[in-house]
Chains A and B, each alone.
Chain A
């Protein structure tokens, strides 16, 4: 017997990502050392000092780096937002987000609302190079709401945000967690996220351990 479900697909697909014995070498330097990691639904925090390998770990999970050894697995699409907003200059915030949504075959109708909710409603039709760093960051983070992918990888997402933006981001993270999405955040600050986190990973000199 077939049962119909009306729940969103991100709840019905068990999503996650893993690295097995992952080693990343860049410019003859070992940046990640034999990392074994499984991330599932909920919030995973990656903490470590500057240069410890947090960004590399996220990029390896996103499949953006070749592994010198080991393998990576991910079920479901990945949304990776790095240090910088990753928006193309010459396009407006709205056009950038439309591109990402269309590329994933999604619905663009929610973009205006998401940008307004992130406080860039007035600026959504200005080219991104004319926005402040904080506005660009907000526009980039609005992708979490417009691209409903199950696996979110956010690298220092609080950078450039004012208090209102940070509050909005904490709410977004909490909602994504409740929706059963996989959220991995690399940050060296924001201890208040510890209460929300299901898993904490400490990384130092490329070696990851459970914290």
Chain B
């Protein structure tokens, strides 16, 4: 699993299309947010959190699809799957590498939000926990959706349609948790963080079960 993740991160370093697309997307969205809704509303913890997580959800889809597009070029995916244990390592490796990429995107998006929207953080440590667990919870289900749509020509349109309804509970939990951490509600932030952890565990187990069979 770690080998697959390292392979993925090395390829992403040389061809950073996924990271660049995801970072650009989140940066543009944060910038537009303050222009479209105005500085007062944009600074509202609920609004700022919701837009941050929506942007991160789309960034996850972008980065995951780019990662699998690269695998499909020259049939690299088949080379991995043909290895003994390759199918099992694929899911874990992809989730691990995408989590690292998304942490980077979240840091950029978070810093931009803080600077451009002039946000005040009441509970920085709680916010860190919520963001970490929120980022952990995103890739597993998106990787499952991308694998399910892998051989479809219309996968660029289908993946968001498949992924977003499933992501709604996670987005709600991440938004509420972030908003609670920004506004000083420690109990609320930790409760939502616990839910995000549960989502991460459940979708990881589902992915580990489904992906090796689905990749066939």
Which chain A positions have C-beta within 8 A of B11? 88-91
Nearest-CB residue, chain A, relative to B213? A66
Chain B interface residue number, banded? 20 to 34
Q: Within 8 Å of chain A (Cβ to Cβ): is B79?
A: yes
Which chain B positions have C-beta within 8 A of A100? 79, 83
Q: Within 8 Å of chain A (Cβ to Cβ): is B3?
A: yes
Q: Within 8 Å of chain B (Cβ to Cβ): is A71?
A: no
B83 touches A89 (CB 8 A): no
Residue-wise interface mask of A (102-122) relative to B, using a CB-CB cutoff of 8 A (1 in contact, 0 not):
111000000000000000000
Q: Within 8 Å of chain A (Cβ to Cβ): is B12?
A: yes
Contact of A89 among B73, B82, B86, B216 (CB under 8 A): B73
Which chain B positions have C-beta within 8 A of A123? none
In the assembled complex, the Cα of A78 lies from the Cα of B78 at a distance in Å of 13
Given A65-B216, A99-B7, check contact A90 B12 (CB 8 Å).
yes
Contact of B74 among A62, A77, A85 (CB under 8 A): A85
Given A99-B3, A102-B3, A104-B84, check contact A89 B10 (CB 8 Å).
no
Nearest-CB residue, chain A, relative to B16? A90
A77 touches B84 (CB 8 A): yes
Q: Within 8 Å of chain B (Cβ to Cβ): is A20?
A: no
B78 touches A82 (CB 8 A): yes
Contact of B79 among A63, A87, A95 (CB under 8 A): A87
69-91 of chain A: CB within 8 A of chain B: 77-80, 82-91
Q: List 13 A-B contacts (CB under 8 A).
A: A63-B82, A64-B82, A78-B82, A82-B78, A84-B74, A84-B75, A86-B82, A87-B79, A95-B10, A99-B7, A103-B89, A127-B14, A129-B73
Shortest 4 CB-CB contacts between residues of A and residues of B: A90-B11, A86-B79, A88-B76, A90-B15
